[in-house]
A and B are shown apart, each in its own frame.
Chain A
């Protein structure tokens, strides 16, 4: 299986969710998360094989483009060259925590990614998707400690983190490929 189909499906899904993601982000950040992801994914779809996640990084830009790009590199490497998905995502998760100085409970993409990695180690992709969804929903009452959300009123309390939503979409799209 090539990453081509994954990025095509992902681009379609984010395009369909663009307004929703921007609205979620408007509550906790600057309101462009959906647009940023779609801009990156449009370039990823058009890029050469093996360079799709990097094209995403370049086009989406900023620190968030790099951090989401690390997850996409792990998925792309798994799809293109049968690398181990669990260890790839675990490495991406560790690196995002390190680079972004975040941990579980800070109201970020990590709240979905970290439990998904744990579930995948003892289960499968379906278990990881369930864990990611639960982690995503757990961000609603949290107060952000990193990123732009830390500067909004009450740290975005009451709103789901858009980054965690995106991580769930990554994994769901992967699950639908088979």
Chain B
């Protein structure tokens, strides 16, 4: 596979050079060139709770693309598909923390959890008021009885956006942490992969899959899925996936679901829009209104073919925050769907 990089050693820093040069919303922190921080409309961290995320590279535009007004204050960038080290995350926390406190959002994968929580402990040793919030939503990773063992998947974007908007409004650290947990409890995600990504480090495909099969429950680092299904019309695949999501976390008839259709890098907008339309139709058959969708390739695995469907049953507050304006390099403006009387 042909890949366009200078070298394995410099690929992450080369990417960051381009990123901070292209987008005025962000810059590099003085503490470390791998720490991307908000540049415009920065509020006083003694008054506004700051939000951070640390993650490996190779999944762009998440999460550095979500740094900016109304969302994240910092993204700590690790190597390709590798969690940033604890001391690097500590540099990120140090760069933006103030008296109002900080929350480190951790998409739950073992390396990210160990390093993120260690960084949180080290920051607390230095007197910094920071809390770690694990995020998990992938229903293929563990059954509902063991939700806390699930992986972080693209549904975590609901948490970034909702907490980002609430923090901008001035909510306290404790209020934001509780809101984050409440949003997390309302998110479910399931992914399907149709073709492998190619590791930029090795140039090799991450897995192999027969032409007529699709992986269900694919992880964002190329982890194997939980099941295989035969390729058919996409409406059948979406029917199956939405059924699994609603069995896992039911939404009552007459309810609403905010939807994220996330592409993994090698799936086109034409395909993603078709998947959205089928998801909306399928939810309607369950008596659920699909609202305020986010459709595009945001949590990617290089050019992997595939997508995930995430559902969140919002409260009115959560919906308002989800649709609030933001100014970041990559988060879209979510169209506000007017709420109707649903009961």
Contacts and interface: CB of A to CB of B under 8 A. Distances in A.
A128 interface: no
B118 A58 contact: no
Secondary structure type dominating chain B contacts: helix
A62 B111 CA distance: 7
Contacts of B82: 61-62
Interface residues of B, number: 17
Most buried by A among B110, B117, B118: B118
A33 interface: no
A100 B117 CA distance: 10
B284 interface: no
A63 interface: yes
Contact of B85 (A65, A73, A99): A65
A29 interface: no
Interface string A52-92: 00110110011101110110010000000000000000000
A42 B117 CA distance: 25
B114 interface: yes
A95 interface: yes
A63 B114 contact: yes
B85 A61 contact: yes
B118 A99 contact: yes
Interface string A105-137: 000000000000000000000000000000000
A98 B113 CA distance: 11
A95 B111 contact: no
B87 A99 contact: no
Nearest to A61: B85
Interface in B70-123: 79, 82-83, 85-88, 90, 110-111, 113-115, 117-118, 121-122
A58 B117 contact: no
Interface in B281-322: none
Given A61-B79, A62-B82, A63-B110, A99 B88 contact: no
Contacts of A66: 85-86, 114-115, 118
A95 B122 CA distance: 10
B111 A58 contact: no
B114 A99 contact: yes
A61 B83 CA distance: 8
Contacts of B117: 98-99
Contacts of B115: 63, 66
Contacts of A99: 113-114, 117-118
B82 to A, nearest CB: 7
Contacts of A70: 118
Contacts of B83: 62-63
Interface in A118-172: none
- Give the top 5 A-B pairs by smallest Cβ distance, nearest first: A54-B87, A63-B114, A66-B86, A57-B87, A99-B114
21 contacts: A55-B87, A57-B86, A58-B85, A62-B111, A63-B110, A66-B85, A66-B118, A67-B114, A67-B118, A69-B86, A69-B87, A69-B118, A73-B122, A95-B118, A95-B121, A98-B117, A99-B113, A99-B114, A99-B117, A99-B118, A100-B114
Interface of B: 79, 82-83, 85-88, 90, 110-111, 113-115, 117-118, 121-122
Given A57-B87, A62-B83, 7 more contacts: A55-B87, A57-B86, A58-B87, A58-B88, A95-B121, A98-B117, A99-B117
